[in-house]
Amino acid sequence: MLFIGTDKMFCFRNKKVWYIALAIFLLLAGVGAVCISIVCQKPNTSPNTLYIYIDADDDEDSVAVKLGQPFGWDVLTMGGYNVLTGRYAIQPGEKILPVYQRLRRGQQEPVRLAVPSVRTMRQLGIFLGKNLMMDSTEVIRQFTDSTFCASYGYTLHTLPALFIPNTYEIYWNTSLPNFMKRMLREHEAFWNAERQRRADSLSLTRIEVSTLASIIDEETANNAEKPMVAGMYLNRLRIGMPLQADPTVKFALGNFGARRIYHSFLEVESPYNTYKHKGLPPGPIRIPSIMGIDAVLHGVHHGYLYMCAKEDFSGTHNFARTYAQHLANARRYTRALNARKIK
């Protein structure tokens, strides 16, 4: 009887172990199924590539939300949360696991950053804050710091000449120092041997070319006319005549939208007022465009010393060789302004 009882007890225990094993198996299978369902999820079910932006303020929860994985995210992060900042692409139908692996490795997609030809460094700072992982307030503070500018070989006046408004592939989370280093490399690449040769033939430095180009960009948006305008200002520089460029007065006043330049405006005391000071102002009055720079380097050779906006408001100019001809052009333009009641 003892033998039989022992045998029954053994069978009972064996069944108990089997049930426990089965329960553990089912539990693991369930967990495994959940894990598989999570790693097989597709955060991008659209037909287009999606992009997510991870910044320094993101944590495990916010990244999960950006990936559309608010539940079960901890399955992927069991090895420790270690997502790097950046801009990441999610391809259509791509599963979550390879996406998360890229986030951990920092394998981001660059942005195509079109550096704009803006009027002020403040505007550039705001642009960078909107398009890169930068604090615009801090960028503006640095752009207005003479020590910062000097560290890259520029002054507060000449810094706009550094930037070449073009489109660049750059990582969204790049730092301001790295961005500046990139702009220095692009600046050197832009100023190739041919451009440098042309600047030398005009006896102008790169900064002086950029300064004159910025004035021309403000004078006309018509790219075809820019070499003509450049030729006129180059003529004035050669003979020591004041540039008398209205855009420099607007810059000095901080009034970029002025449609008319009154005599009282010309009295503003500023090194940028080219009515009062001969030669070029101390730096560009905006980030010059590539077309503006090349217009200076390829200025048209002619005998004009004066220009005035055309009375048809086409955005182009009437050019004159003599002051008398210029006054006649100016009278026609003034009558057109008065007729339209433009103050």
Q: Which of 9-23, 187-201, 267-281 has the lowest mean pLDDT?
A: 9-23
For Cα atoms 225, 228, 231, give the angle at the middle one, nearest 5 degrees.
150
- Determine the Cα–Cα distance for residues 44 and 93; give it in Å rounded to an integer: 6
Q: Across 26-35, 36-45, 68-77, which has the greatest mean pLDDT?
A: 68-77
Residue 166 has pLDDT above 70, yes or no: yes
- Determine the Cα–Cα distance for residues 301 and 242; give it in Å rounded to an integer: 19
pLDDT of residue 16: 58
Whether 260 and 337 have beta carbons less than 8 Å apart is answered as yes
Higher pLDDT, 93 or 8: 93
pLDDT band at 201 (very low <50, low <70, confident <90, very high): very high
> Quick one: average pLDDT of 242-264?
87
> Quick one: average pLDDT of 321-328?
94
Please state whether beta strands 50-54 and 86-90 pair in parallel, antiparallel, or not at all (unpaired).
antiparallel
pLDDT of residue 260: 74
The closest of 91, 82, 93 to 54, measured between CA atoms, is: 82
- Determine the Cα–Cα distance for residues 227 and 152; give it in Å rounded to an integer: 30
- Determine the Cα–Cα distance for residues 305 and 111; give it in Å rounded to an integer: 44
> Which residues are within 8 A (CB) of 22 and not within 5 positions of it... i.e. 6 or more apart?
none
pLDDT of residue 22: 47
Other beta carbons within 10 angstroms of residue 205's beta carbon come to 14
pLDDT of residue 15: 57
pLDDT band at 6 (very low <50, low <70, confident <90, very high): low
Beta bridge partners, 319, equal 307
pLDDT of residue 26: 44
Task: Report phi then psi at 41, rounded to 5.
Answer: -65, 150
Higher pLDDT, 138 or 13: 138
- Determine the Cα–Cα distance for residues 292 and 246; give it in Å rounded to an integer: 17
| Amino acid identity, position 48 | N
pLDDT band at 70 (very low <50, low <70, confident <90, very high): low
pLDDT band at 42 (very low <50, low <70, confident <90, very high): low
Rounded percentage of the chain residues whose pLDDT exceeds 70: 83
Residue 34 has pLDDT above 50, yes or no: no
pLDDT band at 17 (very low <50, low <70, confident <90, very high): low
pLDDT band at 100 (very low <50, low <70, confident <90, very high): confident
Beta bridge partners, 86, equal 54
Residue 248 has pLDDT above 80, yes or no: yes
> Quick one: average pLDDT of 43-55?
83
Residue 207 burial by CB count (10 A; 0-12/13-18/19+): exposed, middle or buried? buried
Element (H, E) at 309: strand 306-309
Mean pLDDT of all residues in the chain?
86
For Cα atoms 190, 280, 181, give the angle at the middle one, nearest 5 degrees.
30
